[in-house]
Amino acid sequence: MGHFNRGTLPRAGIAAERQRKRARNRRGGRRAASGGGGGGGGGAEMSSSTSARDEEAPDLVCQIDCVHGMVDALSCVRWKRHQDAVLELSEHGIVLIVEESGCLQAKVYLKRELFMEYEYAAEGRPRFGLSLGLLVDCLNTFSAPGHSSPVEIRYPGPDMQLLLKSVGSPDSCMYAEIRTRIPDTISWDYHFEHAGNTPVTFTVKSAVLKESIEDLEWPGSSIQIQMQPDPPSVLFKGEGHGDLQIEFPYYANTDLLIAFQCDHETSYRYKYKFLRATTSNFPNSIVKENRGSKVTIGRGGMLKIQHLVSVARPGMQNFRNVAGGAQQPSRIAYIEFFVKPEEYEINDA
């Protein structure tokens, strides 16, 4: 992961200026309230207080009813104990981004439709850094047995914290504050492009993909992924003290290889540790539901792996989302991994 640095991101200056303005407005409001005077003084007091309230309005206030599903989605991209992440907020939802050595990047997309409430008031798309492990551990506390009430997420707090609070229970309330940081610039924000007119892609059962990658483990090894159109098939090959390969013929078993598209032979190698990170932290819900994972090889061998994680509360039939509808929408979090190839000399004919 890159180190966090206060001087490298333009958003840093915006966030710092916002804090200074809030502090000035609070002081201004107190001075206006303590000063005497006639109608002019009263007008100044109202204006200053209103300005202070406007400046202190949070960028985001949202509520989610199923914290366990959110924990499952975030845990998919937690491949080591101490891991930093960047959160990006927008009117469309929340995106969490993690990186490793400039060769592996993962994104978790939490659409606004997943939330019971989603009030967004920021200009642009604020980004801030935090500890992914701390965020997951805090959310796990709220999802423990006996604490199943919805959770409110608010940013920023008085000192730019991320604030979590249980809501909906008249008997108890839990709070958590997570310190945030101004993150370093994302080291690479790759614009994924297909290698040709036809995307080179296949969809396989998530549990099968996870098992196949684990079976190919060799210490310090790389994994070759090869696709060919005739006969249509996908080949995973690991090399170490010997060779081990796993082949998925498309027409032989469509229950495992759900979809396949390839018009030219393509083959690239990837570091095993990076490839393993794309499936190693699957929660049990993904393995149990056994959804499909989509694998795409783009221009230059960039590998994109996409997963779907359900964030619906088990047994819940109806859900009232931000649109006010009582029907159950698609309660899915989207997860994307990008893995750079280890080398380029293998053909991409």
pLDDT for residue 234: 94
How many percent of the chain have pLDDT more than 90?
44
Q: Which residue matches tokens 């280890």?
A: 342
pLDDT for residue 239: 77
Distance CA 301, CA 286 (A): 27
Which residues, listed in sequence order, are joined to residue 267 by a DSSP beta bridge?
Answer: 226
pLDDT for residue 50: 41
Minimum mean pLDDT range among 21-35, 92-106, 233-247? 21-35
Which pLDDT tens digit goes with each residue over 102-141? 889 999 999 999 999 999 999 889 999 999 999 999 998 8
Which pLDDT tens digit goes with each residue over 195-237? 777 899 999 998 889 999 999 887 678 899 999 999 999 999 9
Q: Is the per-residue pLDDT at 176 higher than 60?
A: yes
Q: Is the per-residue pLDDT at 41 higher than 60?
A: no
Q: Is the per-residue pLDDT at 246 higher than 70?
A: yes
pLDDT for residue 203: 94
What mean pLDDT is predicted for residues 309-330? Answer: 55
Identify whether 231 is preceded by a cis peptide bond (ω within 30 of 0): yes
Distance CA 187, CA 97 (A): 11
What mean pLDDT is predicted for residues 278-301? Answer: 84
What mean pLDDT is predicted for residues 7-15? Answer: 37
More confident residue, 51 or 139: 139
More confident residue, 221 or 17: 221
pLDDT for residue 257: 86
Distance CA 342, CA 273 (A): 11
Q: Is 111 left (phi over 0), alpha (psi -120 to 50) or beta?
A: beta
The answer to whether the CB of 215 falls within 8 A of the CB of 207 is no
pLDDT for residue 21: 46
Name the residue ranges covered by the structural domains of the chain. Answer: 10-55, 60-178, 200-339
The answer to whether the CB of 227 falls within 8 A of the CB of 202 is yes
The answer to whether the CB of 124 falls within 8 A of the CB of 331 is no
Distance CA 79, CA 281 (A): 7
Spell out the SS3 assignment of 245-293.
EEEEECCCCCCCEEEEECCCCEEEEEEHHHHHHCCCCCCHHHHHHCCEE
Q: Is the per-residue pLDDT at 93 higher than 50?
A: yes
Its pTM stands at 0.78
What mean pLDDT is predicted for residues 335-348? Answer: 75
Helix extents (H) in 171-263? 206-215
Query: Would you tell me which CATH number, out of the four given (3.20.20.450, 3.20.20.80, 3.10.150.10, 2.60.120.20), belongs to the domain 60-178?
Result: 3.10.150.10
Query: Would you tell me which CATH number, out of the four given (3.40.50.620, 3.30.720.110, 3.40.50.9100, 3.70.10.10), belongs to the domain 200-339?
Result: 3.70.10.10
pLDDT for residue 59: 95
Q: Is the per-residue pLDDT at 49 higher than 80?
A: no
DSSP-derived secondary structure letter, 170? S
pLDDT for residue 30: 36
Confidence of residue 183 (pLDDT cuts 50, 70, 90): confident
Distance CA 104, CA 223 (A): 15
pLDDT for residue 26: 38
Q: Is the per-residue pLDDT at 188 higher than 80?
A: no
Mean pLDDT computed over every residue of the chain: 77
pLDDT for residue 169: 72
Q: Collapse the DSSP code of 309 into the 3-class scheme (helix H, G, I; strand E, B; otherwise coil) and give the result.
A: strand
pLDDT for residue 145: 64
What mean pLDDT is predicted for residues 63-70? Answer: 88
| H/E segment holding residue 12 | helix 10-34
Dihedral sign for Cα 299, 300, 301, 303, please.
Answer: negative
pLDDT for residue 69: 86
Pull the structure tokens for residue 157.
């707090």
